[in-house]
Amino acid sequence: MHAVILDAASLGPDIDLSPIENRVSRLTRHDFTSADEATKRLAEADVAIVNKVKLSAETLEALPRLRLICVLATGTNNIDMSAAERLGIRVRNVTAYGTASVAQHSLMMILALAARLPRYQDDVARGRWNTSPFFCLLEHRTLQLEGKHLVIVGQGELGNRVAKLAEGLGMNVSFAARPGGHDDHRPSLADLAPSADVLSLHCPLTEATHHLIDAAMLARFKPSALLINCARGGIIDENAALAALREDRLGGLGVDVLPEEPPRDGHPLLDALTESLNLIVTPHNAWIAPEARQRIVELTARNLMALD
């Protein structure tokens, strides 16, 4: 069985690929591959192993030998799934590999925004502490999380882990009904929004969740509320959220994802990092704990058994 990994560098240089190597007769490794290079590089492959490389219908149709695609992630939107099914190519992804890592990152954002860490760090960097008339700075009102209300969208493994961590801080947790779900009897996000102190998103990007957090939804929240998105870019309307943050209609904003990644042409949230806002933007790295990345390899090795 010949397997070709197209974007091995996306796992990092410190990850051991031997669990995959031990499952195949030959593993060809490419650190980076463009969509245009994929057909040539997969020409002799029985298995394609990809993270974010796009495999279009045209590419898959040109690969009669290909029998399995192993995705090094949960999302499969970079694969033309209908073409793969039509051509008899199996697609296997990995799930729940980064639960601890992403939950930790989400909690970090909640804690940092609650403490107004970005704003106080900026104050210290600008020398404002040095000139304070007394021993501390207290210009920015912080949020004690104990007893506060966390609303989570997405009650999967990740949402439940974040809930458990938040409950350890003494927070009260509610799960919103699944957006677009018609048989979900939990309260809707719109109903929960007015009482929420923190909203954390852990749902997929779908038609029902695209711009779930728009200007109208933001208007339902307290001006002090914190908004965390470690799910997918596009679930929030970033421009509306930034406007609310600048106008003190939102207490804090933390995102690990943007609609286009990497943001080659920039993004308003990146430009806003130079302002003194309670804003955190991280480069889609909530998942990157070494344990999580190694787990991806182990789960992918199991997925190779689909050809046994």
| Residues with catalytic function | 232, 261, 284
Q: Decide: 211 and 236 in contact? Cβ < 8 Å.
A: yes
CA distances from 165 to 108, 146, 193, 239, 286 (A): 11, 12, 21, 30, 16
Residue 181, C-beta contacts closer than 8 angstroms, at least 6 positions apart:
none
| Residue with the two structure tokens 């390899």 | 297
81 token code pair: 């799934």
52 token code pair: 């974010």
Residue 276, C-beta contacts closer than 8 angstroms, at least 6 positions apart:
119, 122, 123
Residue 221, C-beta contacts closer than 8 angstroms, at least 6 positions apart:
193, 194, 196, 199, 227, 250
Count of other CB atoms within 10 angstroms of residue 210:
15
